[in-house]
Structure 1
Amino acid sequence: MRPHFSRSTFLRGAFGIAVAGVGFAGATRLPVSDASPDTGSAGGNAGAAGSASGSGTGSFDPKWRALQGKLRGRLITPGDLGYSDAKQVFNTRFDPDMPAAVVQVAETGDVATAFEFAAENDLRVAPRAGGHSYAGESTATGTLIIDVRGLRGVRVQGEQTVARAGHTLYEIYQELDRFGRSLPTGMCPTVGVAGLALGGGLGFESRAYGLTGDRLTAATLVLPDGSITEVSDGNRPDLFWALRGGGALLGVVTSLTFDTIPATPKDVVRLTFWGEDAEHVISGWQEWLRAAPREQWADVSVDADGSGGLHCWLQLVCPAGSAETVTAALVDAIGIAPRETDVRTLSHMETVLYLAGGVVDQPRAEFTNGSDIVEALTLDVIAAILDVMTRFSSVGGTGWVQINTLDGAIRDLTPTATAFPWREHAALVEWGAFEPIPHDSALTWLSDAHATLAPHSVGAYVNYLEPGDPLSRYYGANYARLAKLRNLVDPNTLIHSTLAP
């Protein structure tokens, strides 16, 4: 049975860790011998060099024709057939952006070629995998987009998998499930696995197995100078450190190797509470987490109803057959009986689909999101969060806040072990507003949220970027090391970013 979601909850599928949308079906299945990064089918986006035909600038400008001749993939410039689609990302707010061109790569060498062309022609490069960046990092006007979604193929060998960077989370889930394996990832399956892993990657398996990036063991990386390097703990460990949580600041990843986890059936429980009980729910949830085994996970959401009121609900995921005991412990910690309880036992892929909102395809939408990291969820912090939500609701806002824990296996590594710095903190607080809330109104609300939480916030999550923010906000104590490495490999800042240095 599929859950019933309101339009606002459906749209949340693109944004939050929980209740996300399902992506494209079917990963490319390659024999073990064919799964090296550049062999096998390149996928539907790749074509013969110069296959972007039409009346665009690329058809007449010698420099673009020369670039087309060097690519195995496809070059699309403004005016070329397919440019409008090629430049699109998930957030419709960025539709007016006009990249100089889009390179749909067919092999790792295409990425190197694109970097070299960009350097020669004074262009910034915007890497694109899933196209879900909150800040529209992969669709900026005047940039050269390097789109890796044509890089296809997933190889599974025992407990390890090698995936090319063009796959979505749903494709990875689907292919690994054939072997009884999975990854701890986010719950919006249309997100690209590369972008998620490079920024960290939080989801319902994170308490048990850590971040998506924590499972990364190797990667193929193309640096801004066009050089290609295999990165791991034993080869270029400085770059490997940065790839796990540092985002796409240092180059373009074309292949990722992960240690996988078991794919197991789950009990999924949705608990709904009155909005006025939200403080007790958040406090009780925190209390429950202190004793809950790592295989049990839950997050808390508070939604504004646009009339000054709030809705509060909690999502729980635990091993199949344990819901009754686990739910009782959670409700006992909260101290208030839920208004409604929905319990279901699901297979691994059914769990993925349910948490994705129960839909196969998700329409593009306009949204505005942001985040804060807090060291502790004290009563003062909880009150500040709820005050922000109530103020927004009172002026017609229908945004939401989702609070996700940063405990369990996430804390098995030290804050400096990888570029992801938030391993000794209580929670990620994600703010979201979506259609029909105008972007300007949402920005005003986000500014209010950040200002209200400022005494308690220590930074933000790099996968939830906000344009114009200082880069340091996302990396805490790791910022100096990452900035130094970035200056080393990309001294001319060839890679585009909406963040301030």
Structure 2
Amino acid sequence: MNAQLNGLIVTKESPNYETCCLSWNRAIDKHPSMIIYCQQTEDVVFAIHYVREKRLPFRVRSGTHHYAGYSTGDGVVVIDVSRMDKIVLTDQSVTVQGGVRNRELYEKVCQAGYAFAGGGCPTVGVAGYTLGGGWGYSSRLLGLGCDSLIEAEIVIASGEVLTVNQKQHAELFFALRGGGGGNFGVVTSLTYRLSQKRAIATLINIDYPHQDFEKVAEVALIYQTLFHGLDRRMNLKMAMYHSDGKGRGVKLTGLFYGQKEEAAMLLSEFSSAPLFEVREMSVLEANREIQDSHPDFEMYCSGGRFVMRDYTRDEFINMLNLMEERAQGSVYTALTLYGLGGAISDILGSATAFYYRDARFILGFQSVFEDRKYKEENILFVQERFSTLRTYTKGSFINFPIEQGENYEKEYYGDNLARLQRVKRTYDSDHLFNFEQSIRG
């Protein structure tokens, strides 16, 4: 077919160009040659044919939240599906277009009485979240975001529109559940299985500001022990931080699908914290509060790996000492543990592209700054310390990407890599979908 375009086209001559270039992570400062806002699947098909025939480099974008900015780039065409935002709810499933974000999905699903295995940040695209596995506060009960996925529609490199599930293109379906966004095509629709309806949840907020790292390590030891037999209805993330406003400290944020009295009992070892809140509310209200706690945008650099074992006090102290001094311009630095286990580990690592099912936590390391002139110092700060964190961890989390040389595929996908490379060769033999850390096939 002749190359042509549908949808809303934004170029450098467009009055809203600079706004359309913005990423949620304002440290990403990229200027595409063109942004194609697709409004239906046909627009995506035309866009794929256009970039193929013109031999133009391109990226795929839904929520602008890619931590390292691989959903955009200088001089590339951005195929953006954020305007494709329809949601269709039935008694057993919910189908969303590729541009739906966490907040819209929670509003639709939770108002109908269901919990959902979504993410915490309101403007994250559900597609990118799911394709990378999808961690959230409901993950220990409901699984990762990709575990609820039962079908997807995807435009592949040939421009063909495929319906993908366990029976149709099963290997591609395997790859879409944790293989990362932008590797195999443009996902235009996702259908998820809904869990049972749940009336209430308890929101958990525990904070120890202005502490020394000895106290932070003490809390961290309690936290990791708690997870040995933790009720899967509960999940928590623990941020060990060094910030402008609260100094050194540790904060636990979580969700429990049950009453606040039971949550308080499970968390009794933290009850002496300066801030200890367990508040019972509807599932919708809990998710709204979690999402509202996120800023409208940030400027940061970060990365994530997997924790496979318990740490000693000395090991926690050694890791915490990496934050003793923050990078120049940094206002917040944190080592964060995101709870895994429960329903996540019920599934074999070979069953979906998300390989690290046996991990105890995801470990994230982040430095936040407020002036772009400090970007390089903060990137160097994180990368240097990440080298140390590698000695305590295994593999890397594709949704928390970081520059890591030629071995990035093995780090992200472990023993699933060869299978994913075969899928890549089958559906994108020419490597049309090609970005900084794409699967190379």
In the superposition, the TM-score normalised over structure 2's length comes to 0.91
Relative distance call for 1:81 and 1:414 in structure 2 (3 A) is same
Q: Aligned equivalents of 1:215 and 1:457: distance in 2?
A: 27
CA distance in 1, matches of 2:242, 2:385: 13
Q: Partner letter of residue 263 of structure 2?
A: V
Aligned position for 1:197:
130
CA contact (8 A) 2:144 2:344 kept: yes
Match of 2:25 in 1: 91
Identity of aligned residues (%): 25
Q: 1:299 and 2:230 equivalent?
A: no
1:94 aligned counterpart, secondary structure: coil
Q: Which residue of 2 aligns with 1:56?
A: none
Deviation string 1:204-263 (CA, Å, 9 cap, x unpaired) is 110101100100000001101111110000100000000000012100100100011234
Match of 1:244 among 151, 172, 177: 177
Give yes or no for contact 2:84–2:99 (8 Å, CA) kept in 1.
Answer: yes
Return the match for 2:284 from 349, 352, 361: 349
Q: Which residue of 1 aligns with 2:263?
A: 326
Question: Within 5 A, what are the aligned runs for 1:50-449?
Answer: 67-68=4-5, 71=6, 73-95=7-29, 97-248=30-181, 249-261=183-195, 262-273=197-208, 274-275=211-212, 276-305=214-243, 310-321=248-259, 323-332=260-269, 337-358=272-293, 362-379=295-312, 381-392=315-326, 398-436=332-370, 438-449=374-385
The residue number in structure 1 matching 2:390 is: 454
Contact between 1:306 and 1:393, CA under 8 Å: does it hold in 2?
no
Measured in 1, the distance between the counterparts of 2:390 and 2:111 equals: 46
**Kept in 2: contact 1:137–1:497 (CA 8 A):** yes
Q: Distance in 2 between matches of 1:451 and 1:485?
A: 31
**TM-score computed with the length of structure 1 as normaliser:** 0.80
Partner amino acid for 1:259? R
CA 1:498–1:467 in 2, change beyond 3 Å: closer, same or farther?
farther
Q: Deviations over 1:383-404 (max 9, x none)?
A: 3321222243899763112101
Cα drift, residue 358 of structure 1: 4.4
Distance 1:218 1:415 in 2: 20
8 Å Cα contact 1:405-1:427 kept in structure 2: yes
Note if 1:479 corresponds to 2:393: no
Amino acid of the residue matched to residue 348 of structure 1? V
Distance 2:315 2:54 in 1: 49
Equivalent position amino acid for 2:397 in 1:
Y
Displacement of 1:308: 11
Q: Could you tell me how far apart the structure 1 residues matched to 2:75 and 2:128 are?
A: 22
- Mapped to 1, the partners of 2:347 and 2:161 lie a distance apart of 28
Counterpart contact for 2:45–2:159, Cα < 8 Å: yes
Unaligned runs of 5+ in 2: none
Q: 1:138-195, CA deviations, whole angstroms, 9 ceiling, x for partnerless residues?
A: 2111222111112121111112111111111100010112321232111001101111
Q: Give the structure 2 partner of residue 20 of structure 1.
A: none
In 2, Cα distance between equivalents of 1:239 and 1:425: 24
Residue 364 of structure 2 aligns with an amino acid whose one-letter code is E
Pair 1:357–1:384, CA change in 2 (3 A): farther
Supply the RMSD in Å over aligned alpha carbons.
2.3
* Pairwise CA distance, 1:429: 0.7
Report the secondary structure of 1:464's partner residue. coil
Q: Is the 8 A contact 1:88 1:139 kept in 2?
A: no
Contact 2:330-2:369 within 8 A present in 1 as well: no
**Structure 2 counterpart SS, 1:67:** coil
Return closer, same or farther for 1:158/1:173 CA change in 2, 3 Å cut-off. same
> How far apart in 2 are the matches of 1:396 and 1:434?
5
Residues 349 and 357 of structure 2 are in contact (CA less than 8 Å); yes or no, is this contact kept in structure 1? yes
> Could you tell which deviates more after superposition, 451-460 or 233-242?
451-460
Q: Distance in 2 between matches of 1:141 and 1:319?
A: 44
Q: CA deviation at 1:492?
A: 2.6
8 Å Cα contact 1:309-1:390 kept in structure 2: no
| Structure 1 match to 2:428 | 490
The separation in 2 between residues aligned to 1:67 and 1:80, in whole angstroms, is 19
* Distance in 2 between residues matched to 1:297 and 1:122, nearest whole Å: 46
Alpha-carbon separation, structure 1, partners of 2:428 and 2:225: 45
The one-letter amino acid of 1:415's match is G
Which amino acid in the other structure matches residue 220 of structure 2? I
Instruction: Give SS of 2:297's match.
Output: coil
Gap change, CA 1:221 and 1:429, over 3 Å in 2: same
Deviation at 1:272, TM superposition (A): 2.0
